[in-house]
Chains A and B, each alone.
Chain A
Amino acid sequence: MSDIINLTLSALINKIKKKELSSQEITKAYIARAEKSKDLNTYITTDFENAIEKAKKFDEKGNFDYKLPGVPLAVKDLFCTNNLKTTAGSKILSNFIPSYESTVTQHLWDEGAILLGKLNCDEFAMGSSNETSFFGNVESPVGKKIVPGGSSGGSASALAAKLTPATIGTDTGGSIRQPASFTGTVGLKPTYGSCSRYGIVAFASSLDQAGPMTQDVSDAALILDVISKYDNKDSTSVNFKRGDYFKSLSSNIKGKKIGIPKEYRVDGMPKEIESLWQDGITLLKKLGAKIIDISLPHTKYALPAYYIVAPAEASSNLARYDGVKYGYRSEGENLISMYENTRSEGFGDEVKRRIMIGTYVLSSGYYDAYYLKAQKIRRLIKNDFDDAYKSVDAILTPSTPSSAFKIGDKTDDPVSMYLNDIFTVPVNLSGLPAISIPAGKDKNNYPLGLQLIGKAFEEQNLLDISYSMEKELNFKNNLQDWWIK
């Protein structure tokens, strides 16, 4: 059984196709491990009985030509799943049972995957450490009382702890890449418009994007093949010619031009991150890539602009939670007090902070000074990337300015928490694809990630570069299973 959980997603699929392993054996192996890993608090809702039932059905008469034949997967609890509780990590949705399925998860099931359950996340995906979830903190398997990052913290932790062979998360400002970096896993945020947002609990609609979180780059390509599809139910879905990402993977990156932006060398960045980045540059040179120094001059304004745009969109999106049609309700003596009590009790502190920031920047008299200003800055940030891409194919940066920190270390100061996303946020503001791959460890043996940022809709290029680096990096988490009961 320990063999099963140590296989990558693509290796598992090979074994299923060759009938060396059954879907039931695999599903039961992951469930057994999850039962012993409750201390990590990765799951909000499990669907284990149904999963075993579905695996049994797959073994009896499944289609082995599917891309994910009989493979059990757990997903972030931000994706609506038909008839299975979907909470977004919030009290206000703690009793919500969707009557429809998100497009992205539907694609997984259509290719033969089996749902194991729903993974913990920061409330409404607002957080960088999985400490804002109504359902409690998630612990990272990389160290005791260490955060897995956020907001897809449950997904990252479950993946690194081998409770699911792969998973999907969502990334609004770094919520796939930062937790991937903290847990020694691969996280890909596709180009805005690649994966449908239909049925994903909305946070900031112009930034949100779903993407794979996997053990290696091949697995990320495989999942991307399944979930990146045009969808007319999402008005911002883009109908472009998608690649055959997994089959086309190539580790030949000779002559590719990689940009190194000087603005990402921020004050106070730990030496180990600096040398991780330098080692990445050396490796790319060795692989035949050409390194070019570039400038993205507006980088330092990305985070402040993000903290206007994202809360503004969130305040509008979260206006729907009023205790009337679904979700938690608190009674009041009249309609207004019912709304106010419901939202006051139903939302956590970070969500309330962001709703209030958003309401303020959109309110009469402040719109031009804040929201419009932020949208103009957003243009300048995107222009920086457009200019850079005239001379390079991709950009290499660290994924995060530090490694994973202790639970509780940054909860008292929102701004210090926000700074976690300093390298990931510019990508969302520009709609670009980016991937974080594990590249080394810090002095405490916690993983560190490198980020590659690509041109819009050129995920293949990004995957090829990271695939070639991964082979040489040969990163291993070597976890000690200390959390197993």
Chain B
Amino acid sequence: MSIDLKTIKHIAKLSRISIDDKKAKELEKDLNSIFQFIEALNKVDTKKVDPLTSIAETSLKLRGDEVKTKNIREQILKNSPDENKDFFVVPKVVE
């Protein structure tokens, strides 16, 4: 099976990564060679095999929904790419 240019552009869209035509062609070549390598898995019969979803294979522990760190608004906003000190700012989304 091969991945065509249209699919590459669709995956890029889903991945929220903008790519131009030149980049898309490069990715088409790279991804096809990687998937060719991955196709080896089809040789293995896995009909009766359970998927391994976690190495620990124990259910995740529950914990109380408690606030443990308080008053860190400034720390959290410190790394915001936008200068605004009170909120995270994004381009306008409602007209």
Residues of A at the B interface (CB closer than 8 Å) are 95-97, 99, 192-193, 206, 232, 235-236, 238, 298, 300-301, 303-305, 307-308, 315, 319, 322-329, 331-341, 343-344, 347, 352-353, 355-357, 359-360, 363, 370, 372-380, 382, 413-415, 418, 430-431
Contact = CB atoms under 8 A, between A and B. Distances in A.
Interface string B3-17: 100011001101111
B56 interface: yes
A353 B78 contact: no
Contacts of A303: 37
B67 interface: no
Given A305-B41, A307-B34, A352-B17, A327 B81 contact: yes
Interface residues of B, number: 49
B57 to A, nearest CB: 9
A355 B27 CA distance: 12
B78 A340 contact: no
Contact of A333 (B16, B39, B55, B91): B91
Tell me if A's interface is mostly helix, strand, loop or mixed.
helix
15 contacts: A97-B78, A99-B75, A192-B56, A193-B55, A334-B91, A334-B93, A338-B90, A356-B11, A356-B31, A359-B11, A360-B7, A370-B38, A376-B51, A378-B52, A414-B34
Contacts of A359: 11, 14-15
A380 B44 contact: yes
B75 A415 contact: no
Contact of A301 (B15, B41, B82): B41
Q: Is the interface of B mostly helix, strand, loop or mixed?
A: loop
B91 A335 contact: yes
B50 A376 contact: yes
Interface in B37-80: 37-42, 44, 46, 49-56, 60-61, 63, 72, 75-76, 78-80
A335 to B, nearest CB: 5
B58 to A, nearest CB: 8
A418 B30 CA distance: 12
A328 B80 CA distance: 9
Contacts of B51: 372, 375-376, 378-379
Name, among B7, B39, B76, B90, the residue most crowded by chain A CB atoms within 10 Å (CB to CB): B90
A305 B19 CA distance: 27
B18 A193 contact: no
Given A333-B91, A335-B90, A337-B18, A327 B41 contact: no
A99 B54 contact: no
Contact of B46 (A328, A373, A431): A373
B33 interface: yes
A355 B15 contact: yes
A118 B49 CA distance: 43
B56 A326 contact: no
Given A329-B81, A378-B52, A344 B91 contact: no
Query: Nearest 4 A-B pairs (CB), nearest first?
Result: A431-B55, A375-B51, A326-B79, A329-B81
